[in-house]
Amino acid sequence: MNNPLFVLQFCLFVLTFIVGTTNASAVHDNNGEVTVEIKYKGKKYIGKPIAWDGKDMVLLRRDGRVAILPAKSEADIKQVDDEFLPMSRSMIRKNLIKEFGSRYQVSVTQNFIVVHPVGSSTKWAQPFETLYQRFRQYFTTRKITVDNPEFPMVAVVLQTRGEFDRFLKSYHDYHKDILGYYSPRSNRIITFDQSAGQSKDQSWFFNAGTIIHEATHQTAFNTGIHSRFGPVPRWISEGLAMMFEAPGVNNSNFYSRQSKRINRDRLIALKYYYQKNKVDGRWMDMISSDHLFRKDPTLAYAMAWGMTFYLAETQPRNYIRFLKHDAKRADFAAYDRSDRRKDFAKYFGANMTDLEARINDFITNLEIPET
């Protein structure tokens, strides 16, 4: 339960730029849907400006990635179109083939472009699409709007752990034991085949948890359930992703019992931390800031799942209303501890002592599902 491999870390990309009120207006005509070009170190970057502080510009590129580029004046910015059109799926696929080479295959589904070891696209690409469709069903049945992704969602499944480690060392700071990574900045999932040495029949078991977790992140940030450029509290995004790991959540048509909606590993961890007296009094800390994820990530993940599962099971309408409210927060806006507490209290009450007692009773009465 303390094994850090349980921690499928989501490294939230936090931008610190404040959209300018004067300089930014020159490139934000047509509600910001213009396309501009910025040259940097001999390379042209083309995309939609989404934030500019007069020194640096945040550019949403046509393939869905984000670039942060020096732009100190309007002279550094060239408007090339009065609208913004995402890159075609075929062009993104072509670029990925060039990037990853002949050792990999690039498969396309309705909503994903998946880079994977050469082999069946049914094995590697279809699970992402399946999760997406189940994700949509979960929220549409709860009367929450699920937007269509603006860009095809890119997932990369590398062949080995070593290749994954080397890739991420040059890509972003990361914990050495993570199994998968979704970056709002690149809008990509990066993971690896965890089934080395296992039979073909077992391969899905070894990869399913990571794929479901990271694809839930990616889908939530691309369909408006979370704001991709807003300050989403980490317990909200991680709690949702961990909740979706359970088959009774991501495949409720087949698994209807509550026991199948329980994330077994997280429940084991949370019960352990209750026994060690490490949970009581810390719920508000998790709600108020992301500090616990840095200080004690395994505890933070267990608590984030516990809070999310409790709210979804016992107060489903308020939980959905809370998610809707969180997704509407302005891009790049500050979100301090006080505001996080106020928003939580608005939907679930301000009496944390009472809430902690109810969560404790709820978790205590949950039985650990059989494997």
Q: Mean pLDDT in the chain?
A: 87
- What pLDDT does residue 49 have? 94
Question: With 50 as the cut, is the pLDDT of residue 20 above it?
Answer: no
CA trace torsion 10, 12, 13, 19 (10° rounding): 150
Question: What is the model's pTM?
Answer: 0.88
Under 8 Å between Cβ of 312 and 241:
no
**Alpha carbons 339 and 233: distance in angstroms, whole number:** 11
- What pLDDT does residue 253 have? 84
**Alpha carbons 21 and 159: distance in angstroms, whole number:** 47
Angstrom CA distances, 292 to 301, 302, 318, 359, stand at: 9, 11, 25, 18
User: Across-strand partners of 318?
Assistant: none
Report the pLDDT averaged over residues 95-124: 93
- What pLDDT does residue 121 have? 82
Residue 170 tokens, joined = 């040059």
Buried b (16+ CB within 10 A) or exposed e, 270-309: bbbbbeeeebeebbbebbbbbebbeeebbbbbbbbbbbbb
Q: 328-333 contacts: CB < 8 A, separation 24 or more? A: 328/227, 329/227, 329/230, 329/231, 330/230, 331/19, 331/50, 331/51, 331/227, 331/229, 331/230, 332/15, 332/16, 332/17, 332/18, 332/19, 332/51, 332/58, 332/229, 332/230, 333/230, 333/231
Percent of the chain at pLDDT above 90? 69
**Alpha carbons 48 and 69: distance in angstroms, whole number:** 12
Alpha-helix runs per DSSP H in 276-336:
283-288, 291-295, 297-314, 316-327
Question: With 60 as the cut, is the pLDDT of residue 32 above it?
Answer: no
Per-residue confidence at 268, pLDDT binned at 50, 70, 90? very high
CB atoms under 10 Å from CB of 350, counted, come to: 11
- What pLDDT does residue 171 have? 62
Per-residue confidence at 206, pLDDT binned at 50, 70, 90? low
- What pLDDT does residue 169 have? 78
What CATH number should be reported for the domain whose range is 87-222?
A: 3.40.30.160
Percent of the chain at pLDDT above 70? 87
Under 8 Å between Cβ of 7 and 178:
yes
Options 2.30.30, 1.10.10, 1.10.1070, 1.10.390; CATH of 234-365: 1.10.390
pLDDT tens readout for residues 333-346: 899 999 999 999 99
Under 8 Å between Cβ of 302 and 273:
yes
Per-residue confidence at 7, pLDDT binned at 50, 70, 90? very low
Residue type at position 25: S
pLDDT tens readout for residues 269-301: 999 999 999 998 999 999 999 999 999 999 999
- What pLDDT does residue 8 have? 31
Question: With 70 as the cut, is the pLDDT of residue 27 above it?
Answer: no
Under 8 Å between Cβ of 334 and 231:
yes
**Alpha carbons 279 and 6: distance in angstroms, whole number:** 18
Question: With 50 as the cut, is the pLDDT of residue 24 above it?
Answer: no
**Helices and strands per DSSP (H, E), number in the chain:** 15, 10
Q: Which fold has domain 23-81?
A: SH3 type barrels. (2.30.30)
Of 12, 4, 2, 1, the C-alpha closest to 238 is 12
- Sequence ranges of the domains in the chain: 23-81, 87-222, 234-365
Contacts of 164 (CB under 8 A, 6+ apart): 158, 190, 191, 192
Q: Helix axis angle, 264-275 relative to 297-314, nearest 10°?
A: 110
Per-residue confidence at 205, pLDDT binned at 50, 70, 90? low
Report the pLDDT averaged over residues 243-268: 92
Which H or E element spans position 355?
Answer: helix 352-365
Under 8 Å between Cβ of 56 and 45:
no
Of 347, 287, 338, 285, the C-alpha closest to 312 is 347
Q: Which of helix, strand or coil describes residue 57?
A: strand
**Alpha carbons 74 and 26: distance in angstroms, whole number:** 8
